[in-house]
Amino acid sequence: MADIFAALYFSFLNTTPENPTDESRDYCLLSNGHICPIYYAALARRGFFPIEEMQKLRKIDSLLQGHPKLSIPGVENSSGPLGHGLSQAIGIALSLKMDGKKNRVVCCMSDGEHQEGQTWEAVMSAHKWNLGNLIAIMDYNGLQIEGTTDEIMPMGDLAQKYRDFGWEVREIDGHDLTQILETLSCADANEKPTMIVARTVLGKGVSFMENNWAYHDWAGKPGDAEKALAELTA
């Protein structure tokens, strides 16, 4: 998701870090809040809060905890249980549409949260209300806690399911910045909700982390961070 957040916050979204609640802003919601470290990094680099705050991640009294919360500048939703983010995004998108406003709403999601029933209620609602101001981005890496999504709870062809529910669907390489930016630009012109299925590799660029579901919720052992940084900067 690093490439996607970079595209969103440094090219696509209309945001003003010096005034995070500007009424003309675009909204970006994170549904799978457990990936918040990379989300926080994007917000910090964009200037919503000092980069030094990242050193306090998940520490007592830190601004930055294991799930985003509304008290963090730039954060639009508090997360926790999976499957709630799309419903929250739809509420914002519908409100903006009813008020005749042009703000865009982006919801970043996981593939695994599509095992939650509420997600599909939200999918139907977005189509019913014809929310062309809504873009959802699915981090499709095929992994979740304790295994692959196919092993835990097979979901079939998620892209086709969204098409069946009336969404515009684009499938891309979630690590290709050019594809991401071009697809976001196309989605911006749609008159119905858009789902961007971004196929990604968990731990991309770090040999011992790639496609290893254990790193879904494990910070690793001492020395892993140094090894990872060495590979990424080689």
Q: Is residue 168 part of a domain?
A: yes
Write down the pLDDT at residue 136.
Answer: 98
Query: How far is residue 136's CA from residue 134's CA, in Å, rounded to a whole number?
Result: 7
Q: Is residue 98 part of a domain?
A: yes
Residue with tokens 């990379």: 38
Instruction: Kindly list the distances between the CA atom of residue 111 and the CA atoms of 51, 143, 153, 169, 173, in Å, as whole numbers in the listed order.
Output: 29, 8, 11, 15, 15
Q: Is residue 60 part of a domain?
A: no
CATH number for the domain harbouring residue 131: 3.40.50.970
Q: Is residue 124 part of a domain?
A: yes
Write down the pLDDT at residue 100.
Answer: 96
How many domains in the chain? 1
Write down the pLDDT at residue 140.
Answer: 96
Partners of 134 in beta bridges? 105
Nearest to 168 by CA among 144, 186, 147: 186
Q: Is residue 227 part of a domain?
A: no
Query: How far is residue 202's CA from residue 50's CA, in Å, rounded to a whole number?
Result: 27
Series of mean pLDDT values for 10-residue runs along the chain (234 residues): 97 96 97 94 97 94 94 94 93 97 97 94 97 97 88 94 97 97 90 96 89 76 88 88
Q: Is residue 183 part of a domain?
A: yes
Lateral strand order in the sheet of 194-199: 27-30, 105-110, 134-140, 194-199, 168-173
Range of the structural domain that residue 173 is part of: 2-28+83-200
Write down the pLDDT at residue 203.
Answer: 87
